[in-house]
Amino acid sequence: MSVTAMTASRSAAPTTSNHWIYNPRWDLIFISFSVVLVPVPYLIWILMKDVLRVESDFGRQAVNLLIAALIGGPHMYATFTRTALDTDFREHYAGFVRSSIIIPLIVITLALTNLTLLLTIFFFWASIHVLHQILFVVEAYKKKGGRALKIPLSPLSRAIDYAVVLTSLYPIAAYRLAITQDFAIGPNNLNDVIPAFFEQPWVVYAAGAAFGLSLIAFLAKSVIELRQGTAHLPKIIFISLTAAASFIVPALGNLDTAFQGMNVWHSFQYLALTWYINRLRADRGDLRRTPLVQRISADGKAKIYYGFNLALTFGAVIIIGIVFLILHFGVGGKWSEASYAIETSYYIGVLSFLWIHYYHDHFLFTQAESVLP
């Protein structure tokens, strides 16, 4: 991951008059224009399959592992620099942190008994989590815009922004669930576990109408704001790119790899946002009781911050390896197929921590004021 923009000079430090989250260059590179990362996993998979002649499913799993190692894992563990590794957070929300242990137990149980159900829950929770982060960024822009540009935070404006973001992912996804019924994550078809009630044409019409109306309202609102001189351009750019990417991605053939593209973009944003928020906390002295996080969050320490989260990721790889050996060679000598062992151990090792990350972020994403200096 490039850290050039993340390690912006002190002269570009955020001020209360800045309506970008950090500054224009940083926001565009790490938040909005990083949308160019979305097609990268899919293109790598196509290259492996069509040019290098790698077997399709092996290529899919290879892309998953590559993304998990380089960016998905680091973004996941970055959460814990604001929760489990933060002394003040652990003390103030002790019950919340302790309750997280339930999540790995659920993941392990489902991975061993009903992997399709596990992946169905994963897809829907992942989509909600990605959308929740997008809403967090939108709300952060609103707070920065409201402070710097004195733009009123209209409930109607907020509702329209939220609506176009929340509905953009589902029209084509609903079509694939209800009409073509080929909504599969790897070898697991989600139609096998989704209630038949949702596999009806009305779901497609409802999803399409919801997005269409939201998009019309968003475009009309943006035009009015531009004419009135109250438009918050960073927010409009971000929402527009998000809605476009979310709408298109479910149309791709290999949904597992296609959604990895959204995961890469989401993770890239998340790493940058968490570093920035931690840097603000360090500057305010909020991390005095958590010296490790304070050190890796200081100005100019972005590489160390990323390296720390990367190291935690490789720790998870060891866990995945141990689970694979147990599943493949079995307890008491019972052997299982290597493909099953790889798939199951990957999801146990990744989703156990990933779902805790989701769980913690549903709390953190309610605190958009964390981006304010």
Each residue's pLDDT expressed in tens, for the chain with a length of 373 residues: 444 444 443 433 434 346 899 989 999 999 999 999 999 999 999 999 999 999 888 888 889 888 988 999 999 999 999 999 999 999 999 999 999 999 999 999 998 888 888 888 888 898 889 889 999 998 898 888 766 555 556 788 889 999 999 999 999 999 998 888 888 777 777 777 777 777 889 999 999 999 999 999 999 999 998 998 888 899 999 999 999 999 999 999 888 899 999 999 999 999 999 999 999 999 889 999 999 999 999 888 889 999 999 999 988 888 888 888 877 776 544 455 666 777 788 888 889 999 999 999 999 999 999 998 8
Write down the pLDDT at residue 143. Answer: 82
Q: What is the pLDDT of residue 218?
A: 97
**Residue 7's pLDDT is what?**
41
pLDDT of residue 198: 75
**Separation CA 166–CA 55 (nearest Å):** 35
Extract the tokens encoding 22: 């950090």
| Neighbour-count burial for 22-45, b at 16+ CB within 10 Å, e otherwise | bbeebbbbbbbebbebbbebbebb
pLDDT score of 338: 66
β-bridge mates for residue 185, sequence order: 188
Question: Residue 149's pLDDT is what?
Answer: 53
pLDDT of residue 6: 44
Q: In this predicted structure, what is the pLDDT of residue 82?
A: 95
pLDDT for 216: 98
Q: What pLDDT does residue 256 have?
A: 87
| Cα 101 from Cα 99, distance rounded (Å) | 5
pTM: 0.85
- Whole-number pLDDT of residue 348: 87
Tokens of 311: 């190291």
- Residue 150 phi, psi (nearest 5): 55, 40
- Cα separation of 153 and 139, whole Å? 10
Instruction: Quote the pLDDT of residue 150.
Output: 58
